[in-house]
Structure 1
């Protein structure tokens, strides 16, 4: 097993690290560059994005033929981690959810005509996108099979009715990927559609207020009331909505983990700096055994997370779904991020609880990590199912 990286990958990593240090962190440090939802404001984001494009650090995950750099998943694991040293890093490099996963999905599933209309403007950063799947009770959440939103074929069109919620980025999105029920077939009953924000029969009911900071466009509740969509809006083909959802969500969970590792390292960085300079009762915090144990444990947790993410990324690169590997990474890294923020706040004391650092931002953001793209408990059940099916082969190594 070889964990070395190529000079080309190291060049990408070093250039991203420099860009974050020199360009993004100074913008992050100035609260006038934040919007009302605690994300980077457009007036600060736009020039940074132009610089990222100029330095060929833009849309690194998108295939070359669709306007990106076409980098493999193991490389993205390193680079996304480096981007998210800043809370604003991923969106600057066009590697933030939900556009990240939506671009990758459309690259794989869309026709050439659909790519020209729906993908290209997102890759270029001209519009934002949203993935519309989750529904209020009793509709579909972690279990897409419970989906209640319908798309009924009427003549040559599909008529969509239903309600969705917690749709990330919806308020600022122009392009939407909607998953709806087209039949009662348990495997081929869902279909994905493309639509724009200004089409009739669709509205944003509300922007749901949440505990933490928000992505651009927030998390919204959407209502579909007899929206008519022509057949050329179907993505991949009728009845392939479940496959399409699985294609999108697995890698998207993993890219979340890549970014969360970057935030976890930032928490440790802030904690380490404070502990090195803060004295109490004549002793430097960094010299206290209790602090050393906390930071050492976090360092190990981050490295474990990196290995889990890299293993899952490697599985994806060799054509596997990597379901159990992604679930392991998702559980571990989501909990790690929450722990890293909590420990860093504890070490920083009142300073950590204040807004003098980004720790309290990360702490509020981190709580959602154990819920989004499948709660911890769902992934633990997935792992148990894999273990029951595979028995001792659950831990089997792939043979070349």
Structure 2
């Protein structure tokens, strides 16, 4: 591994960002230290997968528990740390430096635990809630389908019909992340035939060991195995009690799941972008070419300037959206905008870092090649850029059409 990879900042400001509350500053610093010192060095083995990776991840999870850093974003009554939403947003930023940070620290199941905590029956709360917080097994979530525009979930075709006291599910989903590891999948299916389209879908909990649940493949993404599985549902029977929330409420529950999730995504992207920024700056200071350090060349300095301003802008945008959401606002304009902006910033910063590293950046000697591929995916999942752009612009223009101007100072 390149020596650049392990370079640590020894100078510069002693404080973190001014917007980090004092009550969470020390915890955020501890999480960052855990990710940088323990998780990032483990990435080459974790990427390989297999028994050695499982053992190593188990060790990291034990270390997180021993350090008091386990599941800190989960509600306290579920065995988590009970960290408030806004505080967790700040921690999620440094946790996101590594794609394995969530798993090592026990927060990768947070969206699922919050969803189950609010909507699951007592049976499923008892069977799944605490075990997923303890990382005894993985959950998964299935919405997207092959052959259907993921940006328009009203066209989903996977269906469930009632047969006695059971649902019978047929259809096919893909990009079900982690399905091959999961104990269950929460699947979005069409259940209502006469209801308005946004009340036609329900969420149903499906155990993955059911004979009607068949993993077709781990879908390769940009040349890599991805853990994004294609799954066939073939006359799969589950009890009606497996319905998550009311029948026909699938869209509403999914949106509740996605709102905070987009904030979490954006903060993790910022963590990745900041890691790429660190790598780029260390490289510029250490590398010489054509008679001087790369850091002394104006075009390279432009890369630093552009990356810093973009990260800072996206960061402030994300925190502003998080504050509005914490205050009870759906913040749809802010969240749609930061989803697009955050993914773009991640892509552009990693792209510049790759350019600074040259050929080495394309190898697995740095994390940048994997980060670059992940950055490209970010422009698709939780809705493609184009849909969010259209949605945000439509909301803004509708307000002006009704005589309301957007007051940037009052947001």
TM-score (norm 1): 0.92
Cα shift readout 1:218-238 (whole Å, capped 9, x = no counterpart): 011111111111121111111
Whether 2:221 is the aligned partner of 1:206: answer no
Q: Distance in 1 between matches of 2:305 and 2:408?
A: 29
2:254 aligned partner:
245
Whether 2:166 is the aligned partner of 1:153: answer no
- For 1:44-83, list aligned pairs within 5 A: 44-83=56-95
Picking from 26, 32, 47, the partner of 1:11 is: 26
Cα shift readout 1:255-297 (whole Å, capped 9, x = no counterpart): 1111111110111111100100111121111111111111111
1:110 aligned partner:
120
Alpha-carbon distance, 1:36 to partner? 4.6
1:279 aligned partner:
288
Picking from 30, 33, 41, the partner of 2:53 is: 41
Alpha-carbon distance, 1:6 to partner? 3.3
Whether 2:175 is the aligned partner of 1:195: answer no
Whether 2:311 is the aligned partner of 1:302: answer yes
Q: Distance in 2 between matches of 1:213 and 1:312?
A: 33
Picking from 385, 390, 397, the partner of 2:399 is: 390
Q: Distance in 2 between matches of 1:237 and 1:201?
A: 24
TM-score (norm 2): 0.90
CA contact (8 A) 2:171 2:234 kept: yes
Picking from 270, 288, 313, the partner of 2:279 is: 270
1:340 aligned partner:
349
Q: Distance in 2 between matches of 1:40 and 1:76?
A: 30
Q: Distance in 2 between matches of 1:40 and 1:153?
A: 44
1:221 aligned partner:
230
CA contact (8 A) 1:194 1:235 kept: yes
Picking from 142, 151, 172, the partner of 2:151 is: 142
Whether 2:324 is the aligned partner of 1:315: answer yes
Change beyond 3 A, Cα 1:18–1:33: same
Cα shift readout 1:356-387 (whole Å, capped 9, x = no counterpart): 21111111111101111111101101112211
Q: Distance in 2 between matches of 1:337 and 1:315?
A: 23
Listed as ranges, the gaps of 5+ residues in structure 2 are: 1-16
Listed as ranges, the gaps of 5+ residues in structure 1 are: none
Alpha-carbon distance, 1:393 to partner? 4.0
1:180 aligned partner:
189
CA contact (8 A) 2:45 2:52 kept: no
CA contact (8 A) 1:73 1:314 kept: no
RMSD over aligned CA atoms reads: 2.2
CA contact (8 A) 2:219 2:225 kept: no
Which stretch of structure 1 is more off in the superposition, 223-232 or 53-62? 53-62
Change beyond 3 A, Cα 1:394–1:77: farther
Change beyond 3 A, Cα 1:214–1:19: farther
- For 1:81-120, list aligned pairs within 5 A: 81-96=93-108, 99-120=109-130
1:133 aligned partner:
143
Q: Distance in 1 between matches of 2:409 and 2:212?
A: 50
The alignment covers a number of residue pairs equal to 391
Cα shift readout 1:309-353 (whole Å, capped 9, x = no counterpart): 111111221122222211111101101111111100111112212
